[in-house]
Amino acid sequence: MNKKISPLLSSAKNFLVEAMENYDKRRLDFAIVNTVTATELVLKERLVRIHPCLIFKNIDANKFENEQTVALRHLPKRLNNLGVSIATEESILIRTFADWRNQIVHHMPLFDKKAAHLQLPQLLDFIAMFLRKHLDIPLEELLPKRLYKTANGLLKEWERVVSEARKKAKLDKRTIPNACPLCGASDVLSLIDERQVRCYLCGSKKYVYDYCTQCGKKTVSTFSSYDEGNFCDECIDAAGDHYIQMLIDIERGK
């Protein structure tokens, strides 16, 4: 990020990244714990920006060194009382996940994991929206580029980010329809010259737009140049799979 971030936001960023990585790996319990912790830190950051003492349960204490901070389930109400709007359905979602986190950490989880898997993107979306609306921090500034593709297929809030990138690419007037291999978004690529492309979402410039000698398709890829010609990533991957299968067949005596 360009701007310096607070310790609370720095921790929130780490938990948010771990949440999305664990969601990708279908490690639901870890993803829930990480997402809920990120939510709590983000909400407390908003309280701190109003006044640092507001994150404590007892704001009238003489000393705060040993005071507990306000519990996650009570954060939406406190923020609403201070003029930071959190919708009722969002508050219910936060309380639900807070209960699920407590089950995971302290008890035997009893919640419906299928329902939790479907609802987790909603809480991640809430974090992304809250960061932009109440903390003036775009989600793309917190996420490493390796998670752009995950965000692209997971978060509604990410559609805003992709939309802005598409507008910039369109203004360039050299756009190509292919999706970026790195971030997965379509209509965000533009030609820099005859072959090299740039992505207006993730900023990558390592791909080229050219014909593959093997399959004949014109595609965006990291071409490997040999005397025999250029081969697209799909053909290189297919050749690698074929070679591995050949070794397995030899090992089995086929």
**pLDDT digits 0-9 by tens, 166-190:** 999 989 888 888 888 888 898 999 9
Rg (CA), the chain: 23
Average pLDDT, the chain: 86
Closest to 43 (Cα-Cα) out of 134, 118, 161: 134
Q: Helices 88-106 and 113-135 sit at what angle, rounded to 10 degrees?
A: 120
Residue 254: strand, helix, or coil: coil
Percent of the chain at pLDDT exceeding 90:
49
Kindly tell me if the per-residue pLDDT of 225 is higher than 60: no
pTM (2 decimals)?
A: 0.79
- Residue-wise pLDDT for 128-152, tens only, equals 999 999 999 999 989 999 999 999 8
SS3 per residue for 157-169? CHHHHHHHHHHHH
Fold annotation for 7-143: Four Helix Bundle (Hemerythrin (Met), subunit A) (1.20.120)
CB 13 within 8 A of CB 34: no
Query: Is pLDDT at 1 greater than 50 in this prediction?
Result: no
Q: Is the pLDDT of residue 123 over 80?
A: yes
> How many angstroms separate the Cα of 52 from the Cα of each of 8, 45, 111, 215, 227?
12, 9, 35, 61, 65
- Distance, in Å, from the CA atom of 222 to the CA atom of 152, rounded to the nearest integer, reads 21
Domain regions of the chain by residue span: 7-143, 173-251
pLDDT of residue 228: 55
**pLDDT at 40 (0 to 100):** 96
Q: What are phi and psi of 215, to 5 degrees?
A: -100, -15
Rounded Cα distance between 254 and 235, Å, is 25
